[in-house]
Chains A and B, each alone.
Chain A
Amino acid sequence: MKHTIAILVEDQPGVMVRVASLFTRRGFNIESIAVGHSEKPGISRMTIITSGDEKVLEQITKQLNKLVDVIRVRDISPRNVIERELVLVKVHTDSLSIRAEVIQLVEIFKAKVVYVEKNTLTIEMSGDEEKVSGLLELLKPFGIIEIVRTGRIAIARSKKNGDI
């Protein structure tokens, strides 16, 4: 089963390596990893998508907690959270009619065209996993040249769900 793990870490060089090395060494799976500054100075927030049964998840959180630079770890999947991923995708648009078709899809998905040139369109979209893969699936037949994904990030929906 997939799990979203939110981790608060010290904003220090090498923290990313420590976290990633732990996953590799103990054979835990990482589907995606995203990191950036948090609301508190000196603290970064990481979101890791991983998979495993209950026992594996327990080990992941316990082992992460042992890292001195890790401040807090939460498996937030069962909670009420909002998840987003940002995707940039470059698609072939060989003719005007194809371009129109792609732009229509972009509008339906509330995505955005961020760059146009003669034979390509670059599209920006954010959303949960379902939405992102939905659009990518529909763009595939046109010929995707390049995809860049940030990896998923997540936040608790309401204050009473607790900070993660």
Chain B
Amino acid sequence: MKLSGTEIILECLKQEKVKVVFGIPGAAIMPLYDSFGRVEKLSFKNILTRHEQGAIHAADGYARASGEVGVCITTSGPGATNLVTGLANAHLDSVPLVAFTGQVPTDMVGNDAFQEVDITGITIPVTKNNYIVRRVEDLAAVIKEAFYIARSGRPGPVLVDLPKDVLLAKGSFKYPEKVNRRGYNPSYKGHIRQIKFAADKIMKSKKPVIIAGGGIISANASGELIKLANKTNIPVVNTFMGIGSFPKNHYLFLGMLGMYGCYIANQATSNADLIIALGTRFDDRITGKLEQFCPQTEVIHIDIDPAEIGKNVGVKIPIVGDLKYILHQLNNCLSERDNNEWLTEIQDVQGNMVVQPEEKMGELRPKYIIKCINESLKGEAIIVTDVGQHQMWAANYCQILHPRTFISSGGLGTMGYGLPAAIGAKFAYPRKPVICISGDGSFQMNIQELATAIYNRLPIIVILMNNGYLGMVRQLQELFFEKRYVSTLLAGSPDFVKIVEGYGGTGFRVDKKEEFSSVFKKAVELEQFVLIDCQIPKEENNFPMVQPGSSINQMIGVEES
């Protein structure tokens, strides 16, 4: 029996066990949306967002929380170009996504037809791979391959462009059982000799540090990482993307590494004689000034992407493969050891260094807000953030104990990511509390998704850290641009409580420290969409920090008490 293109897509989505798709219809993709209405029961939830960027960030949040491939669907032209930021965001953070875009009919492609853009051409640099399907006969194989490539190896976003006539044409359907691409063979098993070599190096090292990156989370290798640390007593720092890969309450955990990282994490890494780098790409926010990043330290680098090894930092022992598998083997090669001398040295470095300035009485400040959230939820929630100062406060202060419970835009730093990503995370875990920590700048970049969240009755709690500024940029202006606050004052911001109420949700405004805890408790109990507009000090800073272009062991905003 022959199926239409749209029926083939529905069949493929069923085979891939897709549970939810996010998107917005339009002219070119109409046949596909129409087919959703033709079937008795869709095999997935179809969620209408209010902007295509919201759709792809929601799919991204869903993918990060669940570990499955996120799916979004948009029309051609502007619908497709609105995905570009979301694709770049997922690409830099290695998030598995499949984005379907409508396209004008094949005979009109290249004619500058209405709502035509060359979306495959545009998105080459921001996708793992992309396709335009020109024949209905190719459709099933392309979709199979798209999902396979998105989730295998180093995960990433894949775009499939669907000309309207291909959606309408009829073809025979057979879902391929497996994908065979001679140009795509990710290696999963690390070289055993290298693994033994690494084990030997670890046993001989005196001051080892583990850097846990986002790759641990992608590979579902947290259990193996914890085993590695427990067995060898090696202290662990994580990258921003690695938050959640190692429980923050573990006695070997030092904190986040890098520009807005912890003093002790940066110092310990700088003083280490061996770095065990797991699933990290040594981004410039981690290394600071590259030439001064641990020049004497030997590095064992384990990653699934060979191109990341040796890209930024010289590596003594490279191992390419799947972290779960390799760490399991590595653990078998290691014997137990203590590290008491080194751990004591690290504690001594911390000494009585404190982050300045200390809290003033009565002020509602970010650290306190997050402390209340931690006390209330005890690390058993999914924290989603936007981008800016609140993001770094969340990264440093939130109690994160499990992988996939801290969701944030790392590589691209996409303001506006938080709310739609929280929507996606909520669809992945309807029963877990989802907290979206945002700022007044970021929140206004995808504020329209309030409709999606509230209409779908998603009990998300938004903590809006409202300082009336684009705070992160303002902080840089204060420190490095002689306080010339050009274009960072967010004059004209709306009354956020009224905005949320206008969409049918609940909003509270808090400006006193003593009010926050009870308001947050009320928000949790309400089990509906709540926004808490937190009026925080206008010139609150993210400290400590590394000045751009400096080495990571030179931090400002931390001093001896």
A-to-B contact residues, CB < 8 Å: 9-10, 14, 17-18, 21-22, 25, 55, 58-59, 62-63, 65-71
Cβ 8 A contact of B182, one of A62, A66, A67, A71? A71
24 CB-based A-B contacts, threshold 8 Å: A10-B183, A14-B120, A14-B121, A14-B124, A17-B121, A17-B124, A18-B124, A21-B124, A21-B125, A22-B125, A25-B125, A55-B310, A59-B307, A62-B306, A65-B306, A65-B307, A67-B129, A67-B183, A68-B129, A68-B149, A68-B183, A68-B184, A69-B183, A71-B182
Residue of A nearest to B309 (CB): A62
Residue of A nearest to B130 (CB): A14
Given A14-B120, A18-B124, CB of A68 within 8 Å of CB of B181: yes
**B498 close to chain A: CB less than 8 A:** no
Q: How far is the CA of A63 from the CA of B307 in the complex (A)?
A: 6
Chain A proximity of B270: nearest CB distance (Å): 23
Chain A proximity of B294: nearest CB distance (Å): 18
**B305 close to chain A: CB less than 8 A:** yes
**B227 close to chain A: CB less than 8 A:** no
Chain A proximity of B429: nearest CB distance (Å): 32
Q: How far is the CA of A91 from the CA of B305 in the complex (A)?
A: 51
Residue of B nearest to A9 (CB): B183
**B311 close to chain A: CB less than 8 A:** yes
Contact B307 A66 (CB under 8 A): yes
Given A17-B124, A18-B124, A21-B125, CB of A71 within 8 Å of CB of B306: no
Which 10 residue pairs across A and B have the least CB separation, nearest first? A62-B307, A71-B183, A68-B129, A68-B184, A21-B124, A71-B182, A25-B125, A70-B183, A68-B183, A63-B307
A-side contacts of B305, CB under 8 Å: 66
Q: How far is the CA of A17 from the CA of B122 in the complex (A)?
A: 11
Residue of A nearest to B186 (CB): A66
- Name which of B121, B182, B306 has the most chain A CB atoms within 10 A of its CB: B182
Residue of B nearest to A18 (CB): B124
Count of chain A to chain B residue pairs whose CB atoms are closer than 8 Å in the complex: 35
Residue of B nearest to A61 (CB): B307
Which residues in window 293-315 of B have CB below 8 A to A? 305-307, 310-311
- Name which of A59, A66, A70, A71 has the most chain B CB atoms within 10 A of its CB: A66
Which residues in window 230-288 of B have CB below 8 A to A? none
Q: How far is the CA of A158 from the CA of B311 in the complex (A)?
A: 34
A-side contacts of B184, CB under 8 Å: 68
B-side contacts of A67, CB under 8 Å: 129, 183
B-side contacts of A65, CB under 8 Å: 306-307
A-side contacts of B125, CB under 8 Å: 21-22, 25
Chain A proximity of B491: nearest CB distance (Å): 38
Chain A proximity of B136: nearest CB distance (Å): 18
A-side contacts of B182, CB under 8 Å: 71
Q: How far is the CA of A17 from the CA of B129 in the complex (A)?
A: 13
Residue of A nearest to B121 (CB): A17
Chain A proximity of B97: nearest CB distance (Å): 16
Q: How far is the CA of A25 from the CA of B91 in the complex (A)?
A: 15
Which residues in window 111-138 of B have CB below 8 A to A? 120-121, 124-125, 128-129
B-side contacts of A55, CB under 8 Å: 310
Residue of B nearest to A21 (CB): B124
Chain A proximity of B109: nearest CB distance (Å): 11
Residue of B nearest to A58 (CB): B310
Which residues in window 306-336 of B have CB below 8 A to A? 306-307, 310-311
Which residues in window 386-433 of B have CB below 8 A to A? none
Q: How far is the CA of A22 from the CA of B124 in the complex (A)?
A: 9
Contact B183 A59 (CB under 8 A): no
A-side contacts of B149, CB under 8 Å: 68
Cβ 8 A contact of A59, one of B124, B128, B311? B311
A-side contacts of B183, CB under 8 Å: 9-10, 67-71
B-side contacts of A17, CB under 8 Å: 121, 124
Chain B proximity of A25: nearest CB distance (Å): 5
Chain A proximity of B299: nearest CB distance (Å): 15
Chain A proximity of B110: nearest CB distance (Å): 12
Chain A proximity of B508: nearest CB distance (Å): 46
Chain A proximity of B533: nearest CB distance (Å): 41
Q: How far is the CA of A56 from the CA of B305 in the complex (A)?
A: 17
Q: How far is the CA of A18 from the CA of B183 in the complex (A)?
A: 14
A-side contacts of B120, CB under 8 Å: 14
A-side contacts of B306, CB under 8 Å: 62, 65
Q: How far is the CA of A71 from the CA of B181 in the complex (A)?
A: 9
Q: How far is the CA of A66 from the CA of B182 in the complex (A)?
A: 12
Q: How far is the CA of A145 from the CA of B377 in the complex (A)?
A: 78
B-side contacts of A21, CB under 8 Å: 124-125
A-side contacts of B124, CB under 8 Å: 14, 17-18, 21
Residue of A nearest to B308 (CB): A62
Chain B proximity of A24: nearest CB distance (Å): 9
- Name which of B124, B129, B183, B310 has the most chain A CB atoms within 10 A of its CB: B183
Chain B proximity of A19: nearest CB distance (Å): 10
Q: How far is the CA of A49 from the CA of B181 in the complex (A)?
A: 27
A-side contacts of B128, CB under 8 Å: 68
Q: How far is the CA of A69 from the CA of B129 in the complex (A)?
A: 9
A-side contacts of B121, CB under 8 Å: 14, 17
A-side contacts of B181, CB under 8 Å: 68
Q: How far is the CA of A70 from the CA of B183 in the complex (A)?
A: 5
Q: How far is the CA of A62 from the CA of B149 in the complex (A)?
A: 17
B-side contacts of A69, CB under 8 Å: 183
Q: How far is the CA of A10 from the CA of B180 in the complex (A)?
A: 13
Q: How far is the CA of A68 from the CA of B184 in the complex (A)?
A: 5
Chain A proximity of B119: nearest CB distance (Å): 12
